[in-house]
Structure 1
Amino acid sequence: SQYVHRSRDEGKTWQIISPDLTTNRPEQQHLDYGGLTPDASGAEFYNCLLSIAPSPLDEQVIWTGSDDGRIHVTTDGGKNWTAVEKNIKGMPEGAWVARIIASEHEASTAWAVVNDYRRGNYAPYLFKTDDYGRSWTSRVEEESPVYGYSLSFIQDPEEPALCFLGTENGLWVSFDEGENWEVFGQGFPAVSTMDLKIQRAESALVIGTFGRAVWVVDDLLSLRELAGDRLGNGLTALPVNDAVQVKGLFIRPTGTIWNGFHTIFQGDNRPFWHTPIPYYISEVTPGAEVTAVVISAVGDTLQTLASTVWEETPMGPALVAADSGYAPAVGLHYLDWQLDQAITPLPRSWGSRGIAVLPGTYRVVIRYGEATDETTVTVLADPRYDFDPFVDRDLYQAQIYLNGRREQLMGLLETLDEQREKVDKLRTSLLESDNTVMLTHAETMLLKIDSIKHLALGKPVLKQVGAYQSFEVTPISTLRAMEQKFMSAHARLSDQELTLLREAARGVESFALLVDAYQRETWEPFVEEVKEMGVVWE
């Protein structure tokens, strides 16, 4: 329509509160050829309003933009309207006013997104006023790197210096309220960026594209700190979004969509059991590495964190663990925390995650050279489940107990591995001697150690169809069974599961007794025999 319509009863009835706010040219409002029945609003024709933007700060202020280059504002709720497009230097007459955005920071401020590509002009246009349209400034100058005609714009509601501009060729970001722009990369394609919205609860930028789906930038907290120039010298730990402690092994979309076309939801969910910890390096310290630890509310160190880097993966650009010795350059970086507490891993364990931490607030202390800074992460309970702090605490304590048995078992196996390594070196040195008695004893000892380890680990299984998994009940197998159970546990342990937990503990204790007997009855006499024969082997 060429008018502003207002409803005070949620759309049941409407009234016109403006005059015609377009050029109202009759020659642009007729049918050149037909077959279509015109809409009562005349929306098929030229001379229509494209954007209506009420001020979120003053209900009396309303902005409009039309498809034929008109921009109007009212400051009295629609009683009087003022045309302000003539005040914009550099705006092509009759250009398409794609968006008017009323500022959330000042009632007198608005932004106008203008394009003129329908007439062969592909330049980007973005204008800003701070005085109700009496004067305007261009926020995309000719020397700007912005490429493609303008389609969308948004200013961050929390940090006014942070702005985003969508064009036909991608997304651009400014950290100084449009004075300078740079392309927003990190995997976002050079695609028609049609609409931009900010999801306040998640501090996320939601991007609507033409033909390339919906994208979400879920770390506006860091960008706000950069735009607000709140970075320290050397190292700055940045704010972190709240993280949900997901229960279960996976998340999948709820059902399918467009069933008539036999298609399913193909979007990417945010990775769960992971939360990125952003930090900024403003000055490089040669030879310095980044280290970080997660600390509980009572001061216990729960986990050490690794830096991540952007790399190309089969699924596109993604954050992956950086190589050892990674030295960050100046800029924004991320650590990765799996919302877990470190554990002693079992051999051939699935994944690298430790014990899921309980909901609460945790400190992350980051060090880079001599610089230290910290931030906090608030871990929330999974909203899909009724959170019972007593059940979750019991599950957590059960995993702490299980990890104690895991540490005990791995300590015993580590001791056996060290002894095996010593004996193997001894056997190798004896191969070139004529001490066949000692060589035989060393080979027998290697077999003895391997047989004891097999009691804990199970015998190796041939990797062939139908025989790729051992069904032996061993201390490792019972510990792994409980480990897998805890990955998806969200209810109190059943009697059967408690029995399995006790069996796992008894299996480790029995193995510990066996190893203790071996140490007294086999290993210590063997060490004495080596000493008596004067063989140097350590």
Structure 2
Amino acid sequence: SYDEGGSWEVLSPDLTRNDKSRQGSSGGPITQDNTSVEYYCTIFSAFESPHEAGVLWCGSDDGVVHLSRNDGKTWLSVTPPDLPEWSMVNSLEPHPTEPGGCYLAATRYKLDDFQPLLFATLDYGATWRRCDEGIPRDHFTRVLRADPDRAGLLYAGTERGVYASFDDGRSWSSLQLELPIVPVTDLAVKEGDLVVATQGRGFWILDNLSPLHQLDLDAIPEQNVLFTPRPSLRLGGGRGRGSSGRAGSNPAGGVWIHYHLAELDEETEVRLEILEEDGDLVRAFVPETKEKGDDAMEVGGLSREAGLQRFVWNLTYAGAADFPKMILWSGGMGGPRAVPGTYTARLTVGDQTMETSFVLLPDPRSSASQEDLVRQHDRIAAICVTLTNAHQGIRDLRTIRADLKTLAGKCGEGRLDEGPFAALLDEIANAQEILTSVEEALYQTQNESSQDPLNFPVRLTDKLAGVKGSIATGDFAPTSQAEAVAAELTGAIEAELARLQKVREVRLASINSGALALEIPAVLAGTREEENTDD
């Protein structure tokens, strides 16, 4: 057809066995059963060569294969000599790179023959090689597909699951993973994913075949290996799932980083770092341990188990720090999302360090320029710094205030009228008043539940978090108004932190001087780590 099926021309003679004994009516004697699946002597699979115009392949359900190299003007029988008679040629697959290459999958289960039947040719069917060694003899094969991204990587769909071959069909291994034991009726390699159609258990997708493209079967069992992530799109959203219990779940968004670990001792350190192109650290992750990670490390999410592992970086930088029992209404502490560009993954296992680069691509639906996304990223990052400083200031002033309360208690009630003690207590009271004022300007201290901000006004950090959330929405540069409000709130927060710093540098110095004269332990102006009991 040259008009999208509006009319048709005959392209070939009958390319089947055309055995009339196989073309009779099915069923009876009461009723017939002609639903099409009973028909034989039909073309069951065909394709046009992606390499050469006019090269056509077709296979029939009665076990013959034909080839035309001149747009159907003439046809040649190229049936594999070892293909059993009356096999159903269930699928034909072009070789990804060889013009004369073709893969064939056939079945004979309707004749009580359940053996797999896979064949390959590189010379337009002049010779064929059988290539199903390693698949169990009762797992008959309906489909064979070639991966275009690795030479010799094949996938076979059988009556009981999926198999993979890394040597062009000379040997096979199960690729079942979480796929149910189910007949596989078709396979498709689509943009680096393997799509599986099953008979009765729905559609399945093995996302991200890049580890299989890079796998070295001889080296992998005993080595630590970091695989190169495939280019990833800068998409929003999460791993959603449909409302129906039968609905599948989307793959996790972000960059999928695959790695393989050999058996490790408990003492062996495992660490994954994400770096910008210039080497600046974006994030660092360590496995879940009994000990807390340092400030640069995020604990959890990274596996140290032996075997192939996957870590998904969600494209975000570290966010702002919080403090125990913090409650905000307007926004969260999340950091900015990475902008499109080249990044580096660095995996450290003991004294071994492995690095690989990967590319983050822009969302093809977005109209934002690179400059827009950089401006958005930089403003959010700056706000996170301000919020971190503010929240660390709240931690610090609470520590100082607790120490001042202790110091006041050490002055003793019986000595309140004595001049030096009274003067010291006055200084402590004045410092406490300023610290409380700073905290209440930065944060709504009356918040005790998530709904309390409805009753009490939000303060500076809450407002700035809300502006950050607004700027982070979508792929847009910050508006002029958002920039102005962020600058105003940042200035107000910095002014309060300057008041806190003045208490540290001036008032605490005076208080400690008075305490020293009275031989009372001084107050530390620095920070003291508070244990975060939040979930």
The TM-score, its normalising length taken from structure 1, stands at 0.77
SS in 2 for 1:197: strand
The more displaced of 512-521 and 105-114 is: 512-521
Would you say 1:178 and 2:172 are equivalent positions? no
CA distance in 2, matches of 1:460, 1:185: 55
Q: Which residue of 1 aligns with 2:469?
A: 484
Would you say 1:458 and 2:450 are equivalent positions? no
Letter aligned with residue 48 of structure 2:
P
Cα distance, 1:193–1:336 mapped onto 2, change above 3 Å: same
Q: Deviations over 1:428-455 (max 9, x none)?
A: 9x7xx999989x9799899986775444
Q: Which residue of 1 aligns with 2:215?
A: 226
CA distance in 2, matches of 1:121, 1:447: 90
CA distance in 1, matches of 2:406, 2:185: 69
**Structure 1: which 5+ runs fail to align?**
1-6, 257-261, 309-320
Corresponding pairs, count: 498
Task: Give the superposed CA RMSD.
Answer: 4.2
Residues 114 and 137, structure 2, Cα contact 8 Å, conserved in 1: no
Cα distance, 1:245–1:468 mapped onto 2, change above 3 Å: same
Q: Which residue of 2 aligns with 1:509?
A: 494
Cα distance, 1:335–1:252 mapped onto 2, change above 3 Å: closer
**Structure 2: which 5+ runs fail to align?**
289-297, 525-535
User: Alpha-carbon deviation of 1:405?
Assistant: 1.5
Q: Which residue of 1 aligns with 2:383?
A: 402
Q: Which residue of 2 aligns with 1:81?
A: 76
Would you say 1:372 and 2:364 are equivalent positions? no
Would you say 1:19 and 2:8 are equivalent positions? no
CA distance in 1, matches of 2:305, 2:278: 31
CA distance in 2, matches of 1:94, 1:106: 28
Pick aligned residue for 1:363 from 340, 344, 349: 344
CA distance in 2, matches of 1:277, 1:381: 18
Cα distance, 1:536–1:448 mapped onto 2, change above 3 Å: same
CA distance in 2, matches of 1:413, 1:322: 24
Q: Deviations over 1:302-336 (max 9, x none)?
A: 2224569xxxxxxxxxxxx984885342x332333
CA distance in 1, matches of 2:317, 2:2: 55
Q: Which residue of 2 aligns with 1:240?
A: 229
Cα distance, 1:530–1:94 mapped onto 2, change above 3 Å: farther
User: Alpha-carbon deviation of 1:191?
Assistant: 3.0
User: Alpha-carbon deviation of 1:481?
Assistant: 0.7
Would you say 1:62 and 2:56 are equivalent positions? yes
Cα distance, 1:435–1:46 mapped onto 2, change above 3 Å: farther
Q: Deviations over 1:179-238 (max 9, x none)?
A: 333332443333332222222xx3222223334443333322221111687979944332
Q: Deviations over 1:69-120 (max 9, x none)?
A: 22334455541322524x11xx543232211223123234322212233334
Q: Deviations over 1:400-452 (max 9, x none)?
A: 33133123213323423543675688899x7xx999989x9799899986775
Q: What are the within-5 Å matches in structure 2 for residues 183-332 of structure 1?
A: 183-199=174-190, 202-226=191-215, 234-246=223-235, 266-272=247-253, 274-281=254-261, 287-305=267-285, 323=300, 326-329=303-306, 331-332=307-308
Residues 306 and 336, structure 1, Cα contact 8 Å, conserved in 2: no
The TM-score, its normalising length taken from structure 2, stands at 0.77
Q: Deviations over 1:38-77 (max 9, x none)?
A: 89xx886222111113333344543322222223344555
Cα distance, 1:536–1:518 mapped onto 2, change above 3 Å: closer
The sequence identity of aligned pairs, in percent, is 22
Q: Which residue of 1 aligns with 2:94?
A: 102
SS in 2 for 1:157: coil
Q: Which residue of 2 aligns with 1:28?
A: 22
CA distance in 1, matches of 2:503, 2:85: 93
SS in 2 for 1:16: coil
The more displaced of 121-130 and 29-38 is: 29-38
Q: Deviations over 1:137-160 (max 9, x none)?
A: 44333x645874322221111212
Cα distance, 1:344–1:8 mapped onto 2, change above 3 Å: same
CA distance in 2, matches of 1:32, 1:191: 28
Residues 237 and 374, structure 1, Cα contact 8 Å, conserved in 2: yes
